[in-house]
Structure 1
């Protein structure tokens, strides 16, 4: 399935940004070159995750596993352009399944473990044709296979559910390990008859954005590989690099910033899930991790955990890309001073936005914490070579006129080999997201900023024009939350905003006006989300009651004013 316009494909191929190599080609080259090297490692606490013992596979063993799964997928009737829904935690088999899908040309669509009926119904409606769903039998002691079967049975009863972990024979689920694989020569013949092209779609990931439903973000092999090369260069990842990620492999954070650099460098991938600070530090030491991903809150917690740092030596790290929330100069300075670790400031999105402040181009910690290199603008030269393929503009959101003066907020528009071709089966949303020249309208506000010499070489993030809430790296669209709360009979008006949290970045606050004489508690609000089977990370954690919501002259709720009011120390009227 090709979704990029042919003109885009030919342009990026001619420039050298895109090529003919697929993700599976990358892996096969690594497996041939380093068969005895360690390829992938489960977290040592895997048994608490899905009830199975942790695994450590060499490239030869992992290659055999991928091949076996690919042969089983053919037995299940999957093949070129089959869409596979995946809801699995960070375990070896998840990565091998993704690799096997790529080998036969199937399109994988991973979803967070937290997604329930509310989100999955919308996703299946968007995808329309899904071949099967993959999951694990147990997750953190709960019956995940049964849960997903129940959800999908009510939404799409004909959809097969394939499970890892030996489901009961009468469960209706297919045991992936019990599927008889086709013969190796049958797989070879299928691949010869159905070759995979690097311009074809490899994944459809999901982002909420500002709409009330998840949006499918298709990305080709070439989209991913170009992005991965940018991450490799930014993170100083060398051949055979050891990388670790605490982020689920469902979107740009876990998939694009960990799996792709691993495929590109032929190193070792260390899995971590769910997040645990001491285990995080322990794995860094025991696996001799060189590059680790971490949100600012994670890295700050680690730097302040002197008892953990006294027990584990993390000096093997050399780089730590971070993003999703503002960094501090202290964080960057202390990691370098104490451990020689470089913190890289990143800004990205599932759609392919890529901004970065690296030590090579922004050595000053204060500048690196606050700014991003103004790549993609004529007249500036950067050490990072991927910048030559990026084009960026700031525009006035109201007039679309280009902004070139420092200190003037504008919406960031970006065009690069990483940008997606448009939202899957949603031309209406794509028309708003991509302009006629192929620039992605990020909906994020930046301003041009100057360095100490007065040169306008930086972008500074000013806020999200989309009013998106980002909790622990997951996007939450306020309209979706508002729609659920509005269903309570006690609610007359509702607006949802984010409020700051040191650990998660933001949490969800419901601001409500009640019907005359009505009452409402946070527990009652949460019951609504439980009844609707909404993913738990979206549940409100604070309720504020108002006599009226602040509005502008045309009736639009002023959410910035709401955020200011709920931040006032004296405001505890309805907080919970």
Structure 2
């Protein structure tokens, strides 16, 4: 049975009239579209390289021609404005063309990372009601096109499959043939409204079913222009390097929209391998990037023997974990003065806090930054719903022009997340210092309730991570008959080490850590289970801790 078409979320549902007026008056929302930006740069710098991936590359004029052709081919297959189109591709230049084609005809991009399989994608297809998919054949040993052919039986809305760099079956389209479609402006129509849904990004679903985050062009463009201007200080001569998946929030925002906003270049890497990543930075003279923090550690380790020329790299934004001071110092040296800066954000809000050019090392290594962009308001809310004093922990709430309209086909979750003051509740905890810099301190529900006392898992993780034999750690609760819960430290040791629980607890006692915060169980693992966006899957670790002995 086909699910009834949902009522489309509108800007008026999310923001009051005064907020909308302010956003436009301040220039935070400027309307336009991604395709209009592409037109602008294709006219101004037609032969300038726009996107490359080591295999194929397109200048701005070619990118526009191909995007227009693909858009026309989809229209002729029945795709209409507001229809959702799933795109599951690696970090290839074709992903950028696909996004811009959908932006031109007013269809809604539903990006899906290549690591996701039948279960996750089946949910996305059913929830989004996608009418078409753009994907590839075999990539890293898995046949994506075959998967979508299987999923069509349970996704009756899905009628069109476009295949990139592979053979198409009867009734399907090849990407190359679709991009070669000749078209006129009259067929493509006017550029879409900047306030209607443009992208639905699904969360990685560490704890529950993935949610579809509904962004408009204005909510995305606000963050893209602001990051380009205030954080990366990007110009047309810069080259963005993007090894993070462009099919998710960080990669889409920083790898595609930020360079597009200023007519710069972007270089994509489809499989992260640190030595190859460094080689690409040197070859393409990349000047900026954004990744999860572990990418930096791997890059620095590789550079010890690779010795690439990394002097072009000016800014590397780090997300997902704090930046240790030693890592920031090592980065400054390896990248010849390049700056490592923290960024805190999420699919719903993109850029929440970050450090900015000129922030000293102690800010970059000791905080997650201040509000990322002008117009972003950050409030820390306590359990009573009131703002907490400086230095105290509270839930991080965001209000500003970059927030989603809501969750696709999930009004209950939308209502539970966005309060009557227009604040988006992130579910993350943080502390703000007297200078307006915030440190993310944990998840609202990422706690161990030991004997009725709430212990922050992130706080304990920070203590354990200081142990010299610990490379990575995640703290999770396990049941205890007497206290309700106790803390288990799941540790990835440094190579060659096998720390015991007593080694870690003695180390923490010497640093005068509260006894109740000492882990009472230790599990050693080779690696922590992660989502494709670099989040630890703690629900798996809770099961591991529950079953482990000792």
TM-score by length of 2: 0.78
Task: Determine if the alignment matches structure 1 residue 405 to structure 2 residue 405.
Answer: no
Contact 1:71-1:182 at 8 Å conserved across structures: yes
Alpha-carbon spacing, 1:32–1:560, altered in 2? closer, same or farther (3 Å): farther
Partners of 1:120 and 1:410 lie apart in 2 by 34
Please name the residue that 1:19 is paired with. Answer: 30
Taking structure 1 as reference, are residues 78 and 569 closer, same or farther at Cα in structure 2, changes over 3 Å only? closer
Structure 1 segments unaligned to the other structure (5+ residues): 44-53, 376-383, 450-454, 469-498, 512-547
How far apart, CA to CA, are the structure 2 residues paired with 1:559 and 1:110? 39
Structure 2 partner of 1:42: 53
Instruction: Find the aligned partners of 2:436 and 2:35 in 1 and give their Cα distance.
Output: 38
Contact 2:430–2:438 (8 Å) recurs in 1? yes
Contact kept in structure 2, 1:237 and 1:265, CA below 8 Å: yes
Residue number among 311, 317, 327 corresponding to 2:323 in the alignment: 327
1:173-222 deviation line (CA, Å, top 9, x unaligned):
4334345966422xx11344x54111122100101456521100010111
Q: What secondary structure is seen at the aligned counterpart in 1 of 2:479?
A: coil
SS of the equivalent of 1:17 reads coil
Q: Establish whether residue 82 from structure 1 lines up as the match of residue 96 from structure 2.
A: no
Q: Answer yes or no: is 1:3 the counterpart of 2:13.
A: no
- Distance, in Å, in 2 between the alignment partners of 1:394 and 1:430 is 19
- CA RMSD of the aligned region, Å? 3.1
**Which residue of the partner structure matches residue 147 of structure 1?**
147
Residues 435 and 121 (structure 1), Cα distance of their counterparts in 2 relative to 1, 3 Å cut: same
Map of 1:293 onto structure 2: 290
C-alpha separation in 2, matches of 1:178 and 1:552: 67
Equivalent of 1:203 in 185, 199, 205: 199
Distance 1:2 1:19, change over 3 A: farther
**Whole-Å separation in 2 of the counterparts to 1:31 and 1:225:** 19
Q: Please give the secondary structure, in 2, of the residue aligned with 1:354.
A: coil
Aligned residue in 1 for 2:105: 104
Gap regions ≥5 residues in structure 2: 1-7, 448-463, 491-518, 526-544
Moved more, 3-12 or 225-234: 3-12
Q: Give yes or no for contact 2:53–2:270 (8 Å, CA) kept in 1.
A: no
Matched, 1:126 2:127: yes
Q: 1:551 to 1:299 in 2, by over 3 A?
A: farther
Q: How far apart, CA to CA, are the structure 2 residues paired with 1:86 and 1:460?
A: 35
CA deviation after TM superposition for structure 1 residue 124, in Å? 2.7
**CA distances 1:324-373 after superposition (whole Å, capped 9, x unpaired):** 1111111222222341101111000001053334353531x233112134
Structure 2 counterpart of 1:392, from 343, 364, 378: 378
- 1:79 Cα deviation after fit: 2.5
Q: How far is 1:274 from its partner?
A: 1.1
**Number of aligned residue pairs:** 471
Could you tell me whether the CA contact under 8 Å between 1:351 and 1:419 is conserved in 2? yes
- The 2-side partners of 1:30 and 1:138 are apart by 34
- Select 2:398's aligned residue among 380, 398, 414: 414
Structure 1 residues 559 and 419, CA gap change in structure 2 (3 angstroms)? farther
Matches for 1:250-261 after TM superposition, within 5 Å = 250-261=247-258
* Distance apart, 1:71 and its partner CA: 1.8
Q: Does 1:28 align with 2:12?
A: no
Deviation at 1:509, TM superposition (A): 9.7
1:21-420 equivalent positions in 2, closer than 5 A: 21-43=32-54, 54-127=55-128, 129-156=129-156, 159-167=159-167, 169-170=169-170, 173-179=172-178, 183-185=182-184, 188-192=185-189, 194-208=190-204, 211-232=207-228, 233-310=230-307, 312-338=308-334, 339-352=336-349, 354-360=351-357, 362-363=359-360, 365-375=361-371, 386-387=373-374, 389-396=375-382, 398-406=383-391, 408-420=392-404
The 2-side partners of 1:69 and 1:120 are apart by: 23
**Which TM-score applies when normalising by structure 1?**
0.75
